[in-house]
Structure 1
Amino acid sequence: MKSEDSVLAAIAGYVDTLSFVALFGLFTAHVTGNFVLIGAEAAGFGQGVFMKLMAFPAFVAGVAVSSLLVKSLEPATSSRSACLLYAVQAALMLAFCLAGVGVSPVVHSDSTPVIICGMVGAAAMGVQNAHGRLVVRPGVPNTVMTGNVTQAVLDVIEIISPATPSDAKAVSRTRLGKMLPTIVAFAAGAIIGALAYRHAGFWALLVPFAVLVWLAFNARGGVETEAHATTSATAANARK
């Protein structure tokens, strides 16, 4: 799907911002950001340090399980892998939603149910981070925008520089065209995620859950197309 990275970037921005607002500054998609917050809280700024520590192994578990599941597929085509990972992430997102509703209103960051809620969210976004590495397809990173923004700025400089050769400018324009929609989608998702939490609480996570289910069904269509192509190729070879 052409807009897949933009959709995933919007989900990452949405969920990361919602968890940050709802769970004492917890990052679920950009898990390394939690190390900054842990350092700040060690000096007496903020709260929820244990939840942020526990988010890391949960994130790692999401990545590891994703890898094991993809390796277990036979054959492990891109569409089958994507379909499976979308389904797993959707299930975890629904669990994150229900866990959040169950602990609302969130008052104590050191409460065991609240910590578990944050861990489920981190695991869900661990799956999405792993997806970009495990499923082979053209695309750009969709969970962390630092690299994308850096590359976009460099491409703009290349495009406007009179010293840049025309062929290099063409490459920069093409790359920028891929980066910008993802950056905008992430930013839009972040804004909408915060607003959605304000008005719907953790029930707002049903939105990314529904989108992930739709992506899983869309990927399933690709599985059927690949199966049909394989059958056709086998029949053609048999006729030879």
Structure 2
Amino acid sequence: MSQRPEVIRALVTSSTLGFTAGYVDTVGFIALFGLFTAHVTGNFVLIGSEVAHPSHGVLIKLLAFAAFVVAVAVSRLLALSAECRGPRLQRLLLLLQCALLAACVLCGWRAQPIVDASAPWVLATGVAGAAAMGVQNAAARLAFSDLAPTTVMTGNVTQLVLDLVDLLRGGATDAGLRGRIHKFFWPVFAFACGALCGALVFVRASFWALALPLVMLAGLALAPPPR
């Protein structure tokens, strides 16, 4: 029973972060000319497609990649600080992500209407969004390494399918197998829900739609640390 609060906290954290990644990635893709913010490797494919079909969306993807890299590097430097470990590091990285996501909202509002991928405020919006998700990607390794990945779902889905096959083949008595299915299922489910909600809310609220994951992240960051 003593471990139950930790299990619930891990479930809430992984689900919140998964929902945020799906939500922000979808909003960025819809609003910013196909930009992926949560998993920037997808932008490599889009940049490559520009070679075959040149358009005006390359610069924002290149800058977003650079912003992602810088955000990961900054997160690493924070983690290397002697005073920053455990829950303190988790809170610091979540607050940094909140600040960058808030900047993305404000830049997106200022950029309206978004019709030119190379407009300065549009570029700033993409940079801030990619930086916010760069922090989340880094935090997954630096501060939340006990959780399943919450930004790129390919590995999660692969592991989930493998485990489900093993379960159906008679591994039901394996507690570790069931625990791993539980661990990987909820971030995938939350990511999918976030993607759907992000699309629906963006249609009605434009970049103010990002207020929802922003509030969720802030709640996660300000929650009392585990005892």
Task: Verify same fold: TM over 0.5.
Answer: yes
- Give the drift of 1:157: 1.1
1:222 aligned partner, one-letter code:
P
* CA deviation profile, 1:177-196 (whole Å, cap 9, x unmatched): 11111111000000000111
| Conserved 8 A contact 1:10-1:185 | yes
Is contact 2:90–2:144 with CA below 8 Å preserved after alignment? Answer: no
State the match for 2:58 in structure 1: 49
Once the two structures are TM-superposed, the CA of residue 30 in structure 1 deviates from its matched residue by: 0.9
Following TM superposition, the consecutive aligned residue runs of length 4 or more in structure 1 with deviations greater than 3 angstroms are none
Matched residue, 2:214: 209
Q: Which residue of the partner structure matches residue 5 of structure 2?
A: none
User: Rg bigger for which structure?
Assistant: 1
Q: Is contact 2:37-2:130 (8 Å) kept?
A: yes
**CA deviation digits over 1:105-135, x for unaligned, max 9?**
1000121221121011000000000001111
What corresponds to 2:20 in structure 1? 11
8 Å CA contact 1:78, 1:137 repeated in 2:
no
CA distance in 2, matches of 1:174, 1:112: 47
Distance in 1, matches of 2:192 and 2:149, equals 14
Shift of 1:171: 2.6
- Higher deviation after alignment, 53-62 or 65-74: 65-74
1:133 maps to amino acid = R
Classify 1:210/1:73 alpha carbon distance in 2 versus 1 (closer, same or farther; 3 Å): farther
- Unaligned 5+ segments in structure 2 are 1-8
Tell me the distance in 2 between the aligned counterparts of 1:108 and 1:130.
30
Number of aligned residues? 218
Alignment partner, residue 105 of structure 1: 113
Once the two structures are TM-superposed, the CA of residue 207 in structure 1 deviates from its matched residue by: 1.1
TM-score (norm 1): 0.86
Q: Distance in 1 between matches of 2:191 and 2:103?
A: 23
- Give the share of equivalent positions with the same residue, in percent: 48
Deviation at residue 68 of structure 1 after TM alignment: 1.1
For residues 99 and 117 of structure 1, what CA distance do their matches in structure 2 show? 5
Residue of structure 2 in register with 1:200 after alignment: 205
Residue 129 to residue 115, structure 1, CA distance change in 2 (3 Å): same
Give the partner amino acid of 1:23: L
Contact 1:18 1:194 in 2 (8 A): yes
> Any conservation in 2 of the 1:24–1:47 contact (CA below 8 Å)?
no
With normalisation by structure 2, the TM-score equals 0.91
Give unpaired runs (5+ residues) of structure 1.
226-240
Does structure 1 residue 181 correspond to structure 2 residue 186? yes
